[in-house]
Amino acid sequence: MEIPQKLKDYINESRAPLPPVTDPDEPLQIDSLGLIRLVAFMESDCGIRVEDEELIAENFATLRNLGDLIAQKAQGAETSS
């Protein structure tokens, strides 16, 4: 799934002074506090609810993994509707 542009922008801004992420398989290098802030942003600004069991490093390691998580959540929302 495509990651919303505002989420990509947030990730790139929060990673400063690291360069922007251009490769979907590039490690995001987010520390634990950055992860909490990212999840808060996802929930408040993007409407993407992240469950406790989804808070594992693998889900937030790369843009591709994050996109997969978002896609799974979107697919789950469609089947539960």
DSSP output for 17-62: TSPPP-STTSB----HHHHHHHHHHHHHHS-----GGG--GGGGSB
Q: What is the pLDDT of residues 23-36, one digit of tens each?
A: 999 999 999 999 99
Q: What is the mean pLDDT of the chain?
A: 91
Handedness of CA 51, 45, 72, 2 (dihedral sign): negative
Q: What pLDDT was estimated at residue 79?
A: 72
Q: Please report the domains of the chain, with CATH numbers, ordered by start residue.
A: 5-80 (1.10.1200.10)
Q: At 71, which helix (H) or strand (E)?
A: helix 63-80
Q: What pLDDT was estimated at residue 1?
A: 62
Higher-confidence residue of 2 and 59: namely: 59
Q: What pLDDT was estimated at residue 74?
A: 84
Tokens of 21: 């992420």
User: pTM value?
Assistant: 0.87
Q: What pLDDT was estimated at residue 62?
A: 97
Whether a cis peptide bond, with omega within 30° of 0, leads into 17 is yes
